[in-house]
Amino acid sequence: MILSKSSLRASFSNPVDGENTVLHEFAHLIDKADGATDGIPEYLLSKPQVLPWISLVRETINEMRARGHSDIDLYGATNETEFFAVITEYFFEQPGKLKEHHPELFSMLEQMFHPQAAPKN
């Protein structure tokens, strides 16, 4: 992963605008760590969470494409890989807004990134 100084600065200059290149690329690295860059971060998901995650992601991408707009960056509708990167930015930068608009996604991301804090399902 190579990040320019200017993109590092830009990423953290506004920590709540929902956009953060560092978090985006970090999400791709985590996703890739299991050998497949596919939007399924298997290191962060327990086995029973994998299928619900895939169907929630596909459902959300389909909604985004059908509407042509979303509070989620539309770049995330490109594919599952970009969705995971874009939704990770959203989760860390605007958790309250994500929780309000997409409680299921929020809950799954909370379990991935804060496994001790999240209530067990």
Residues that bind Zn ion (CB under 5 A): 82, 85
Q: Which is nearer to Zn ion, 4 or 116 (CB)?
A: 4
Residue 99, number of CB atoms within 10 A of its CB: 15
Nearer to Zn ion, 85 or 98 (CB): 85
Q: Which residue number has the CB closest to Zn ion?
A: 85
Distance CA 82, CA 70 (A): 15
- Residue 27 or 44 having the CB closest to Zn ion: 27
Tracing tokens 């804060």 back to the chain, one arrives at 114
Structure tokens at 11: 């990423």
Smallest gap from Cβ 27 to Zn ion, in A, equals: 8
